[in-house]
Amino acid sequence: MRARLALPIALVAAVSVAATACDASSGKDGAGAAGKDTPKAASAAADYNPVPYDRIKDGGTYTTAGTFDEQGNPFNVNATLTASRVWSWYNADAITYSPTGEVQYNPDYYSDVKVAVEGGRQKVTLTINEKAVFNDGTPIDWTAIEATWKANNGSDKAFDASSTDGYDQISSVHKGANAKQAVIEFKGVNASWTTLFTTFLHPKAATVANFNKAYVKKAHPEWGAGPYTVGEWDTHSGGITFVRNPKWWGKKGKLDKRVYVNLESTAAVNAFKNGQLDYTSVGAAESLKQVKGLKGTEIRSGGSPFEYSLYFNTKSANLADTAVRKAIQESIDRSQIAKIQFQGLDYKEPLPGSAVLYSFQKGYQDNVSAVLKYSPDEAKKTLDAAGWKPGGDGIRVKDGKKLEVGYTILGDEPLDKAVAGAFTAMLKPVGVKLVTKKADSADFSKILSERRFDLFLSGNRSMDPFGARYLCDFYCSDRDSNITGSGTPELDKEIRATADIADLDEQIAAANKVERKALQQYAFLPLFSGPSTYSVKKGLANVGATIFYSPLPETVGWEK
């Protein structure tokens, strides 16, 4: 599962716009690495204080900043990372991955898993734990797997599904030896099938109306299952409290309470300093400085399966022209954006070259550099050739229309302003006027789903290691998750063909090849990943920089 971030940009540094503008038009090549001493790959380190279940004490509360999402169903196209995180505290976590991506089956849900391939077709048999039951008393059986498949396979367009990939390769889901066994038959072979059923829907949640609307600013604990359930869901304050679930049949949750308090990022750092929070993200140099050395706390930092990219709305007036999009990308010095992001963090990484794989993963290739070079001179030639002539004020004009492009930022953070200033300074010399537009953080989902932007910086987090399967989400022209609106039916066909390749290595090689074509739509520009850095109260177990690992809720708690 790929999840969009709940905020468009992690606060990683605070630099003045003036300083940024001075740096922005340096003539260095921004297509490659951000400096000579830049490592060849981003960090793959995990740092989360792994502690075995029996060494975690019973009781206690774990409190962080956070709130529920507008859309709380993680299978829905409008859901973000927030939805996935909140969901996992009161719904099934049936399959997880280790930090490096190995598959882990949770026996409290799937007591046995068998995978067979006969005649080029894959069959997966899931045996569901005899005791497994939804909170409303409905047994968890093969119908939950079937309902999840039907809602997400794309056969009924009324479902606002985030991704049909993989689900559309299943020909049937049926009952096995008994109702507690689900048999999943594929049309071919799916190397990353585990990503499809890491969690599942209650059959009642899988009607069109409920799938699309039931979880909008609402929780449905009765349709959930797991060691915790909803104690309080305050739509006024945005706060959430999870408590132990008396109907849970598996390993008991170690915590008495898991609490989310609705706070902005700067307020969260202050709340952590005051002892009100047990954990906070400190991606920004300023935030890190404030919490470093705080008594009873420690910094946990490691690799990151996050990537932040610049999205181009190909349906907006001036960005409908491929030449304009290409020129803008040629004008952006990505290494300068990375410097702004990582200032004061003592962190370096190569510039990202793919939407779907990270530089620390096997098979990764720098597809961006293969199709794009930072060159303001080339950008000018691209615009000249497309008929955009420099105007008297330096802004290019075509058919009496000025080349003005909007850049939408959420909130009032100094870093966001600094990045906007950098983009403005980079585009001005080539004749593009960037107009910064401010929007409310609460409108994030609407801005994306309704394409209320020209340029927008947003992030994605990989919830699993199988990046190649998400190619369509980013680049297919008929996919709602492709918020740029770019692509062609011909390209869609090539992208979808990669999903039918059984061998993972071959699939990744094919995905790299197709991604290079897709990047030539010039609608999407990967900018940076960055480290995952957190300040944590000492003794908090199984929390921090986990890469692909999502610790089971029952294993989170305080060391004995």
CA–CA–CA angle 368, 372, 374 (5° rounding): 115
pLDDT at residue 1, rounded to an integer: 59
What DSSP assignment string belongs to 349-397?
-PPP--SS--TTSTT---HHHHH----HHHHHHHHHHTT-EE-TTS-EE
* Secondary structure of residue 560 in the 3-state scheme: coil
Reference 430, options 396, 405, 401; nearest CA is: 396
Stretch (H or E) spanning 22: helix 17-24
Reference 411, options 523, 267, 532; nearest CA is: 267
* Secondary structure of residue 417 in the 3-state scheme: helix
Residue type, 232: E
CA 69 vs. chain centroid, Å, equals 14
253 vs 48: CA distance, rounded Å: 18
Residue type, 507: Q
In a domain, 196, yes or no: yes
Tokens of 485: 């609106």
CB 74 within 8 A of CB 83: yes
Reference 264, options 520, 442, 453; nearest CA is: 442
**pTM tops 0.85:** no
300 vs 107: CA distance, rounded Å: 29
pLDDT at residue 9, rounded to an integer: 35
CB 159 within 8 A of CB 211: yes
463 vs 3: CA distance, rounded Å: 7
Q: Provide the β-strand partners of residue 406.
A: 435
State the sign of the Cα–Cα–Cα–Cα dihedral 277, 233, 442, 328.
positive
* Cα Dmax for the chain: 77
Reference 122, options 503, 507, 510; nearest CA is: 503
Count CB-CB contacts under 10 A for residue 191. Answer: 19
In a domain, 102, yes or no: yes
Print the domain residue range for 157. Answer: 92-218
Between β-strands 396-398 and 401-402, what pairing exists: parallel, antiparallel or unpaired?
antiparallel
335 vs 341: CA distance, rounded Å: 10
Tokens of 442: 């609460």
In a domain, 421, yes or no: no
Count CB-CB contacts under 10 A for residue 108. Answer: 21
Contacts of 61 (CB under 8 A, 6+ apart): 255, 256, 257, 258, 259, 278
Stretch (H or E) spanning 557: strand 557-558
Between β-strands 103-105 and 389-390, what pairing exists: parallel, antiparallel or unpaired?
unpaired
Residue type, 91: N
CB 41 within 8 A of CB 416: no
CB 418 within 8 A of CB 340: yes
- Composition of the chain by helix, strand, coil, percent to 5: 30, 25, 45
Stretch (H or E) spanning 103: strand 103-105
> Quick one: three-class SS letters along 48-102?
CCCCCHHHECCCCEEEEECCCCCECCCCECCCEHHHHHHHCCCCCCCEEECCCCC
Reference 135, options 215, 224, 199; nearest CA is: 224
* Secondary structure of residue 302 in the 3-state scheme: strand
In a domain, 298, yes or no: no
In a domain, 502, yes or no: no
Over the chain (560 residues), what is each successive 10-residue block's mean pLDDT?
A: 48 28 33 60 92 98 94 93 94 95 96 94 97 98 98 97 92 98 95 94 98 97 98 95 98 97 90 96 88 95 92 95 98 96 88 94 95 98 97 95 95 86 98 94 83 93 88 91 94 93 90 98 95 96 95 98
Reference 303, options 17, 547, 30; nearest CA is: 547
CATH of the domain at 207: 3.90.76.10
In a domain, 321, yes or no: no
20 vs 145: CA distance, rounded Å: 51
Reference 68, options 260, 264, 223; nearest CA is: 260
197 vs 192: CA distance, rounded Å: 10
264 vs 250: CA distance, rounded Å: 35
Tokens of 363: 């098979």
If you ran DSSP here, which 8-state letter would residue 547 be given?
A: T
In a domain, 426, yes or no: no
519 vs 367: CA distance, rounded Å: 8
Count of domains forming the chain: 1
CB 300 within 8 A of CB 545: yes
532 vs 538: CA distance, rounded Å: 18
CB 314 within 8 A of CB 320: yes
In a domain, 379, yes or no: no
Tokens of 149: 């498949």
What DSSP assignment string belongs to 437-493?
EEE-GGGHHHHHHTT--SEEEEEEEESSS-GGGGHHHHH-TT-TT-TT----HHHHH
